[in-house]
Chain A
Amino acid sequence: MYRFLRLPILLVGLFMAVSCYAVNDSQPTLTTEDDLGPQVAQPIEFPHYRHAGNRNTVDPTNSDPTKGGMEINCQYCHTYARRSLTAGIPPLQKCIGCHQNIPSVRDKPRIVELFKYWDAKKAVPWKKVHDLPDFVRFTHERHIKRFIEQQGRPVQEVCGYCHGQVKEMVTARRQKPITMGWCVSCHMKEHVVAAKADIPEGGTPIGKQAYWYTFQKPAETKNAAGELTAKGPNDCWLCHK
């Protein structure tokens, strides 16, 4: 009786057994073309590549000699990133503060538009590009502290982990999925703990503040170069609120 069920049950059982092991090894898929966010129309077509892009002399691959970037630090305008949850949009004063001293571009259509807002004493109604759900608490501050201030990695590289190559864009567009699985794919990686040489006790302290992915306290892990590594937090309540 029910002999015809034997094979399906066997197959289902095999599938479940295999997937139990497969889950341990699988990594979430990397960023694909589909993860591109929508092109958000901004009130002024802000050229990120012109502000943050590489300078021509430094970067010979930039074909147009007149279109080199200024290599401005991301944190010069998005100044709240290093001290709060949000990276923030700079006030109009910051744009004008530079641009009133740059007469060469003053008659360009975008700059004319910018000064219209300034003269009307109105803020530019920028649209949000990276919008997280309300139940997520993402802190820019912690990531900036960890990777830029404690490990001294280049600012544009660190911002690019989540925001992509903004320095090559005109108006910013979401390049990464910014989903939970994508966040976790990075948090589950072993990251080097060591701080920059001139910071005596920087980096993420392992041991005292290690994050546990199993029920046992993890042993210290080291990478091929012998450096101490640790995973990012996996506690639900660190990101969900």
Chain B
Amino acid sequence: MTATNLLENWASVRHFHPIDDKPHDPYKWAMAIDLDACTGCNACAVACYAENNLPVVGREKFLHGQSMHWMRIERYWEEDGREFPDQGFQFLPMMCQQCEAAPCETVCPVGATNHTQDGLNSQIYNRCIGSRYCSANCPFKVRYFNWYDYPTTENVWPAEMNRQLNPDVTVRGKGVMEKCTFCVQRLRAAEVTAKGEGRIVREGEVQTACQQACPASAISFGNLVDPESRVHKQWLTQQVDLDKDKQDKDQKEGGSDLRGYRILEELRPYPSVMYLERVRESAV
């Protein structure tokens, strides 16, 4: 990216969500999470730790807010007047939303996080200098910073245990930012196989670790532009449009019965993750 290129195309730099001359073709990876099916069991978070070489930081650092869970289960208490053991709550698995106009991308001073053509928000560890600006600008707070050198000084994976590390994912050192990648190592492996056979990745050929581990099949993941994919059908059924900051269905009088929504849509980051949840009386 040169300065001339940047100046000529300044308007396009800010918004990289698809418009006519920049369609997502042939891939746009997206997710749909059914919160009515989610039981908050944390299997997705555990699977993510195993797949992506995440360090377990321990109680003390966790209380300092330095945990590295790319996938976390947020818990929301229901204000229904009941006391703790009877009080209801809801779960929400929160991970990087892979925004189309990601706030983190525009502020990185070194261009370590940028958008890929298949709609992912990439994070290049060896380019990152650890300014933590992206984390400050992320409305979902899903970026995690390596405050310590977990593999060496913290000795998170002592001898023998380091053999559980996934060789397809970098083991991050001190001072870099990291976040959910939509298991990009699996996507790339599937894309290479598919391209060698002259086709695109089929529905069901690639799964993220969290999706694979979910016992309730609450998470579906796939290619949003593939009309055969489950994610495409879900987004279509729920009338959630990737390019809109206000969905048409919500503009109708009386609202909509459909369950699909995206978190902080009105901030216009155009997230790639749709959540499905029935609005309950107790939560209103």
Contact = CB atoms under 8 A, between A and B. Distances in A.
Nearest to B198: A201
A214 B4 contact: no
A235 B117 contact: yes
Contact of B9 (A23, A205, A216, A240): A216
Interface string A132-147: 0111010101100100
B2 A211 contact: no
Contacts of B21: 216-217
Given A20-B2, A237-B124, A241-B168, A145 B196 contact: yes
A158 B191 CA distance: 22
A61 interface: no
Contacts of B168: 137, 241
A80 interface: no
Contacts of B124: 236-237, 240
Interface of A is mostly: loop
Interface in A195-236: 201-202, 205, 208-209, 211-212, 214-217, 235-236
A113 B282 CA distance: 78
A39 interface: no
Interface residues of A, number: 29
B12 A135 contact: no
A21 interface: yes
B22 interface: yes
Interface string B88-126: 000000000000000000000000001011001010111
Among B16, B117, B184, residue most surrounded by chain A Cβ atoms (within 10 Å): B117
B170 interface: yes
Given A208-B26, A217-B21, A217-B22, A236 B126 contact: no
Interface string A72-96: 0000000000000000000000000
A137 B167 CA distance: 10
B128 to A, nearest CB: 11
Contacts, number: 78
A215 B9 contact: yes
B22 A24 contact: no
Contacts of B216: none
Interface residues on B, range: 20 to 34
A238 interface: yes
A214 B170 contact: no
B267 interface: no
A141 B189 CA distance: 11
Interface of B is mostly: loop
B198 A135 contact: no
Contacts of A142: 192, 195-196
Contacts of B279: none
Interface in B18-60: 21-23, 25-26
Contacts of A24: 2, 4-5
B18 to A, nearest CB: 11
A211 B117 contact: yes
Contacts of A209: 26, 195
A135 B117 contact: no
A215 B26 contact: no
The 5 closest A-B pairs by CB, nearest first: A237-B122, A215-B12, A215-B9, A20-B3, A135-B170
Interface of B: 2-5, 9, 12-13, 16, 21-23, 25-26, 114, 116-117, 120, 122, 124-127, 168-171, 181, 184-185, 188, 192, 195-196, 198
24 contacts: A20-B2, A20-B3, A24-B2, A134-B170, A134-B171, A135-B126, A137-B168, A141-B192, A142-B195, A142-B196, A202-B198, A205-B198, A211-B117, A215-B9, A215-B12, A215-B16, A216-B21, A217-B23, A236-B127, A237-B116, A237-B181, A238-B188, A240-B127, A241-B188
Interface of A: 20-21, 23-24, 133-135, 137, 139, 141-142, 145, 201-202, 205, 208-209, 211-212, 214-217, 235-238, 240-241
